[in-house]
Structure 1
Amino acid sequence: MVLGLQSGYTKYFCFLCLWDSRADKQHYVQRNWPARSDLEPGAHNVVTHALVNPHKILLPPLHIKLGLMKNFVKALNKDGRAFLFLTKKFPRVSDAKLKAGIFDGPQIRELMKDPKFDESMEDNERNAWLAFKSIVTNFLGNRRSPEYGRVVEELLQSFQALGARMSIKMHFLSSHLDYFPENCGDVSEEQGERFHQDIRVMEER
């Protein structure tokens, strides 16, 4: 790890603050967490010295998008119409990957363009999905909406109503919105996108 943080499901794995990943009841309530003063090995899940300055780390929009998609799908009713739609839409994707919400960029774009997916959802699922599509379009892409703060709030509120557990990707949106670049589209997604597509091709062979 370039930041020296312990891997796996650890208590403190945000490199910007001491967000407690296990304090589920506080995640949608508490926005301000104690800032990390440094990344000193031996404290707060830091195991080695960082190889780069933490303030030079970029938050790749593709990985944020993939993480949000994972949160959304994992919160869906697995016996509901929306999840059933996914199984029929992507028959070559394993049941385990579907339940884990593991999708790549092209698959997500395909779903975003399919009105039948929207129609298959219950109200709380649709609200969260529309909020997801809005943040992809109005914040994580080449254009940042002047109302991006409201867009992020709607996503957090709708995901909470859906019962989605907050991940580190959602935490960045909740507590470190000012850390994102002015234009997320400036961060190249080509290599990350190609990697996920190559992995999918290998799995389908």
Structure 2
Amino acid sequence: MKFLVLMLSILFSTQILALSNRSMAALGKEFVSKRDVQIHSILQKMMYQYKSENLDFESVKQDEFLNRELGNYILERVIFLEAKSFGLATVEASLVKREGSKVLGRILKSNFSKLWKELGVETDEYDVFVEQKLRSRKFISIKKEAAQVLVTDREIDQYMQQNKMDKELISQEKLRSRVKQYLGNKQGEKQLREWFELLRNKYQVRVF
């Protein structure tokens, strides 16, 4: 009887592991599992303290949630791979260890502690996830600065005319400054989206 219970327990654990490791996407020959997405999501919340929502891994909207998190993971991953390929946005190993230790402490005190232990994240693997987060964010900051574009007076005038902006509510100088900043940010974001799409193609992203 004990043997049967043990075998059923092993079988059940194997099924859970298989579900967690099922492939959701691929980047070339590198496969992305549900487990990867779960680790990424927990780290994202615990590193940056997002409080807008819970990580709802088991709800009826699980597929919708996981697909969104999968997209975030893929974006972060391709940015990290691109940074590594050019040796850019590097982070010190000591910073990875320091941040990793701090975040792990939060995880083990959180509601995700049980799931985290079930995921069985090894130390070396954990360090890679932490480095990926730090380095990808740093690389995005670099790209944002590089993506800043020059907005011409003509573009500002056209925008103000098309949107019939009330020039009496604010000084002309401040109004033009705000429009210039808005247009610059908008064009910069467009360049970043195009860059993200190039990275998806370069790293042969496929979602299953």
> TM-score scaled by structure 1?
0.26
Which structure would you say has the larger Rg?
2
TM-score of the aligned structures, taking structure 2 as reference length: 0.26
